[in-house]
Structure formats: structure tokens, C-alpha cells
Amino acid sequence: MSPESHLPSFFASTNYGKCLKTALTRIAPYPFLILVLLTVSWFFGRIGGIDDFSSAFRYDPPYLFLIFAALLYTMRPGIWRVAIAVIPFILLYAGTDLYYIFLQSIFKLDDIFLLSEGLNVCPAWIRAGIFTSLFVWAISFIYFLKRRPRQFVVPVLLFILAAGPPVAAYRMPKQFLDVTEFLGVSVLPWSDRWTAAIMGRTVSLLLFAADKQRALDELVLLPRVDDPDRDPVLLNNALHEKPNIHILVLESFLDPQLFSKLKFKTPVSPPQFEAVRKKMHIAQSPVFGGGTAQAEFEVLCGAPAYKRYTSAEFNMFDGTSTPCLPNLLAGAGYRTVATQSFKPDFFNSEKAYRSLGFEETNFPSIYAGSRPTYLKYDIPDNYIFDGDLLSQNLSYVQKLLAEGRPFLNYTLGVYGHMPHETDTTRFPPMVDVVGVDKKSQTYLAIQQFYYRAGAVADYLKKLREMDPKGIILVTSDHLPPLDLGPKTYQTYGYSVESAGGEFRQNIWIYDGPQKKNTSWPHHYFEYMDFILDTLTEGRFCKEVVCKNRQAWSPEKLTASYDNLMVQGAGVLKKTGSLVAGSSPRSPATDLGQPAQQQVR
């Protein structure tokens, strides 16, 4: 018996009653949906989410109502169908805000493909909770489905109508965007956040998808790009000596000393780390809270990680050679070795590293399968402590040194990933800190840093003894989200903040030759030119414009980025000589310069 049968009998015996019953059962769910979503938006806006939300409800409701009606009409009448149909919309709105809170990024449709990455690094209980919730919702939905086939005519028609906008966004992106712009709805180029806030969570998803698909369609049509800044012959001619290069990227390597509002009664790092602090600098990562591969892309490829065509550039690379740092060094006679301390499918790293130019990639033995590797580790779904990773890397470096060929030693550590769980029997708390809960992620990350800092200091000392002339760069991929993303950093007075309160400034360490007026990188995509500048004692940067010495225009950066994506994704459709910068979206002639000068 449905809940409607419990309504007072006079509702069914009078026109007034019939109208009220219709309103309660057929109309009321729609304002209820909006009320719920407004409440969700208000709540998350108070804790660091997208707080400018009210204007978005000018555009979202029509499309939301269409999908909501399709879900409602698929199920038998009853109040439970409203609750079941509302849940996906709550997840969409809450998920978008949580994504922004912890990652300082706006969720887009192709970020769904990162779900497997997130599940890979989640504790088992979180994965179990997610799958259980999805299973319960699916079973509930199936249980309340209508039984007669003819009852599905209306919901099927509604679902077909609802499928129209996303299909158009992917299949006809240019036409879709022309129509939306005519209606006054478009992507705001200066801010993804404002686009989501003003255009609505749902509408912005479609706008972002269409805009990216249009860009991807243009990318496929690009002919081969001539980019002399990435010529290995030019690098080889500028090299007099070939010192080894060591690049270490550490997951969420946070310096607690930068929290000005926390009181530390004991040092946050062991004594040997103090010498390392003198070699510390600050640079801006492309990401906050997550997206390790974005930082890797900038460090190794020397271009901003724009995410123009995919949720992570590495996900587009198919193994086709692209002119990033490892390939440039390989062309100059270097051996290129990567050590990735997690699973081979972590951000498509196996294919991506091959595209970048690594001749050899080592994964932990537990995940390596039949692949050769020096990295011995047999605990599944666990992160290798930095000290254990680096001690094995040192042993391998000794082997590489004995072979006599110059090499690039690139190492990615994943130990600092959330949740910041620590084996307290091996790593008991060492930092006495006042002002933070001892069960919080912030407290745990501080305790982790003490041991991680010691491991880095020991590694640098031993590495320098083994390789006196080597160039060593240590950086963090990004800041960890801790407990409440940027709000945590604001609360504890983090003393290094990037523009817009995004907290993307990170510590990095350099140990190697330097001149009196060294041009230090300020962004991660400047690291590559900084290394080449150092490697050649400035000779390389006399031939090309290095980003650590001179700022590149946005058009030129975009052109260089497109060049990398065209080659790394294997989407070249024709050959020829098209200068970087002459893509459909960033024509060189728009800069008022001759084409060849634009690149150089």
C-alpha cells in the first residue's frame, strides 16, 4: 500500500483534495530537490566549498528536473522513490564541493577516470564503504522499479531527452557551445570556480566537457610542431661535462615549521635536516591536495599542466616519444632511469614514463610482476617509507656510477599520501606540538615529517659523498589536503600562500653547482630549464629563452604544451613544419611576431 493511501479521505473526495494530493505527490518533489541542494551548497560553502551558489540555480533546475523526473517515473509511487532519486544529486553537489575543498579544483566529467587512482590509494575500509553504498542504492532503486514494460515509456523518453545535452557536448562541441553562448551560458576563462558557481554544477560539467572536446578536436588536426627549444642536438653542443642528475619528487612533503599559529615545544625535524634548510626554496606546483602526475608532468616536461585535453596529461600519453627532459638527456648520451614507488597503473605512469624518454622504470617488486626492478617491497596496498625507498635507490645509484655512463636518476616517493597513517612502533611521535588535535591528519603529517626529513637529509649527505659533481633537486608534488584543505592552512597560519589562497607554493631543495646570480625557478614548469641551464653553465639558455630566466607569454606556453600533447598522445595526423604557437587556439600571428621568432 502506497503512502498516498494514508492521506485523509476527503482529499480524494473533493477537487481541493485532489489538487492537494497532486501537488504533494507530483509537484512537491521538485522544490524539495532544490531545497536539499541549496542546503548542501550552503553547508559546504561554510566549510570552504563553492560558497557563491545561489546564482547557479538560475541555470541548473531545468536539466536537473528532467533527470529527476525520469528517475521518479521509473519507480513506483511512494515517498521512498523521492529519497532514492534525490541521492545522486546530493552526491553530485556534495562531491563537487568536497573535490574543491580538498583539491582546490573544480570537478569535471573526465575526472571520473581518476576514480580508479583515488580508489587505488584509499584505505580498504573507504573502498568498502563506497562500494557498499553504491550497492545499497542500486538495490533500492531496482526494488522500487515499476513492473510493467509500458510504464517505462515516459521515463525512457525523459532519459533520451536528458542524454541530448551530454551527447551534443561530446559529439558536436562547437555547435553546443555556440548555442549556449547565444543563451548567455559559457565557460568563464578566468576561473573554473566562478563558472561552476555562476553557471551551476550540472551546466558547468557540460560546458567544461564541450570546451575540452573542442580543444581535443583541434589538437588532433594539428600537424607536427617544430620546437627548437627541445632540440637534443642543441643541448649536446652546449654540454662540456655531463654530471649526473638526481630528481626526487616526494608526496606531500610539507614543512610544519611554516605553520605560524602552531607552537612546537620540540623541533619538527632531526638535527641533520637543519643543513638542508639552507638549501631550501619555494616554487608553485600546478596542484593542491592531489594530482601527483600534474606536478611530475611540469617537472619533467617543462610546460604548465593545463589539463586542456584530459584530467591528467599522463593519461593521454601512449608511449610515443615526446621531447621532455628524459628524451633530451637520452639524446645527449644520458641513461634515463625512473623509480616509481607505487603501482604501474598509477596515473598511467608506465606508458607516460616511456613517452617522456625513460629507458628503465622500476616499480616495487609487489607490483612489478615480470618487470625487472631493483626496488624490493612485498607489502600490498602500502606506501614505502621514504627512508626505505631512498636507501635502495642509493644502492642502485652506486651501481649506475660504476658503469661510468652519465645518468638521470628520477625517483617518485608516495609515502606521505593521505591518510597519514604511521607505524608508531617503528616511528613513535617525536614532535610535541600545541594547538592541533592528536588524532587529526595535521598532527599525523607533522609526525611523519620528522622521520621523512631525516631520511631526506641522510640521503642527500650519502648521495653527495657518492656523486660529488651531481646535480640534485628534491621537491614535493603538492601540499597535502590535511583535515579541511586550505581552511586548515588558514587556521594554522601557513606562512607561504600563493595568489588566490590556493596554497600551491611548496618547498624544494637544490644541491649542486650555482652561480652568484642563479635564476631560481618560481614554478614547477621552470625546473627543466633550470636543470638544463645549470647543466650547461648557462650556454643552453643563451641559445633559447629559458623559463627560469625570462617569463614566457601564455600563448607561447600553450603552444609548447600543445606540441608535447600532440606528440606524446600519438595523435599526429600529418607531417610538416608548423611552428609552435600556430595552433587554432593560439596562432603565432596573433602575437605580432614572425612565426620562427615566436618559438625562440
Q: Is residue 43 predicted with pLDDT exceeding 50?
A: yes
- Within 10 angstroms of residue 199's Cβ, the number of other Cβ atoms is 25
Q: Are 329 and 247 in contact (CB under 8 A)?
A: no
Look at residue 589 in the predicted model and tell me its pLDDT.
Answer: 27
Cis preceding-peptide flag for 326 (omega within 30 of 0): no
Residue 125, exposed/middle/buried by CB under 10 A (0-12, 13-18, 19+)?
exposed
Q: Are 290 and 553 in contact (CB under 8 A)?
A: no
**Cα–Cα distance measured from residue 526 to residue 302, given in angstroms and rounded to the nearest whole number:** 6
- Structure-model confidence comparison of residues 229 and 114, the more confident one: 229
Say how many CA atoms lie within 13 Å of 182 toward its Cβ: 6
Q: Is residue 598 predicted with pLDDT exceeding 60?
A: no
Cα-atom radius of gyration of the chain, to the nearest Å?
A: 27
To the question of pTM greater than 0.75 for the whole model, the response is yes
- Structure-model confidence comparison of residues 258 and 13, the more confident one: 258
3-state DSSP assignment of residue 203: helix
**Cα–Cα distance measured from residue 156 to residue 473, given in angstroms and rounded to the nearest whole number:** 57
Least confident range of 87-101, 268-282, 517-531: 87-101
Say how many CA atoms lie within 13 Å of 285 toward its Cβ: 33
**Cα–Cα distance measured from residue 504 to residue 481, given in angstroms and rounded to the nearest whole number:** 11
Q: Which positions ≥6 away from 518 have C-beta within 8 Å?
A: none
Q: Is residue 573 predicted with pLDDT exceeding 70?
A: no
3-state DSSP assignment of residue 348: helix
Q: Which positions ≥6 away from 279 have C-beta within 8 Å?
A: 509, 510, 511
Q: Which positions ≥6 away from 187 have C-beta within 8 Å?
A: 195, 199, 204, 207, 208, 211
Residue 62, exposed/middle/buried by CB under 10 A (0-12, 13-18, 19+)?
exposed
Residue 160, exposed/middle/buried by CB under 10 A (0-12, 13-18, 19+)?
exposed
Look at residue 230 in the predicted model and tell me its pLDDT.
Answer: 85
How much is the average pLDDT of 319-338?
94
- Structure-model confidence comparison of residues 41 and 215, the more confident one: 41
Q: Which residues pair with 473 in a beta bridge?
A: 247, 510
Look at residue 20 in the predicted model and tell me its pLDDT.
Answer: 58
Q: pLDDT confidence of 578, banded at 50, 70, 90?
A: very low
Q: How many residues comprise the chain?
A: 600
Q: Would strands 245-250 and 471-476 be described as parallel, antiparallel, or unpaired?
A: parallel
Q: Are 562 and 218 in contact (CB under 8 A)?
A: no
Q: What is the mean pLDDT of the chain?
A: 85
How much is the average pLDDT of 21-39?
81
260: its cell numbers: 605560524
Q: Are 229 and 545 in contact (CB under 8 A)?
A: yes
Q: Is residue 267 predicted with pLDDT exceeding 90?
A: yes
Handedness of CA 186, 191, 196, 199 (dihedral sign): negative
Look at residue 114 in the predicted model and tell me its pLDDT.
Answer: 66
**Cα–Cα distance measured from residue 545 to residue 421, given in angstroms and rounded to the nearest whole number:** 44
User: Per residue in 153-177, pLDDT tens?
Assistant: 999 999 999 999 999 998 999 999 9
Residue indicated by cell numbers 596562432: 587
The domain limits of the chain are 3-221, 244-570
Compute CA distances 292 → 286, 373, 437, 475, whole Å: 9, 22, 27, 12
Look at residue 581 in the predicted model and tell me its pLDDT.
Answer: 35
Look at residue 572 in the predicted model and tell me its pLDDT.
Answer: 60
Q: Which residues of 467-492 are buried (b: 16+ CB within 10 A; e: fewer)?
A: beebbbbbbbbbbbbbbbbbbbbebb
**Cα–Cα distance measured from residue 537 to residue 540, given in angstroms and rounded to the nearest whole number:** 8
E strands, 233-350, where? 245-250, 263-264, 280-284, 335-340
Look at residue 500 in the predicted model and tell me its pLDDT.
Answer: 62
CATH number assigned to the domain with residue range 244-570, chosen from the 4 options 3.60.150.10, 3.40.720.10, 3.40.190.10, 3.40.50.300? 3.40.720.10
Q: Is residue 12 predicted with pLDDT exceeding 70?
A: no
Q: pLDDT confidence of 317, banded at 50, 70, 90?
A: confident
**SS3 readout for 528-553:** HHHHHHHHCCCCHHHHCCCCCCCCCC
How far is C-alpha 41 from the chain's CA centre? 23
For residue 277, give the nearest of 531, 508, 520 by alpha carbon: 508
Least confident range of 88-97, 340-349, 359-368, 437-446: 340-349
Say how many CA atoms lie within 13 Å of 437 toward its Cβ: 7
Q: pLDDT confidence of 273, banded at 50, 70, 90?
A: very high
- Within 10 angstroms of residue 3's Cβ, the number of other Cβ atoms is 12
- Within 10 angstroms of residue 207's Cβ, the number of other Cβ atoms is 25
Look at residue 496 in the predicted model and tell me its pLDDT.
Answer: 81
Q: Is residue 223 predicted with pLDDT exceeding 70?
A: no
**Cα–Cα distance measured from residue 13 to residue 15, given in angstroms and rounded to the nearest whole number:** 7
524: its cell numbers: 614547477
Q: Is residue 13 predicted with pLDDT exceeding 90?
A: no
Q: Which residues of 209-221 are buried (b: 16+ CB within 10 A; e: fewer)?
A: bbbbbbbbebbee
User: Per residue in 381-432, pLDDT tens?
Assistant: 789 999 999 999 999 999 999 999 999 999 999 999 888 988 899 999 999 9
Compute CA distances 575 → 71, 211, 319, 331, 588, whole Å: 50, 26, 19, 22, 19
Considering all CA atoms of the chain, what is the largest pairwise distance in Å, rounded to the nearest integer? 97
Compute CA distances 136 → 74, 87, 131, 139, 449, whole Å: 18, 12, 9, 5, 39
Q: Is residue 580 predicted with pLDDT exceeding 70?
A: no
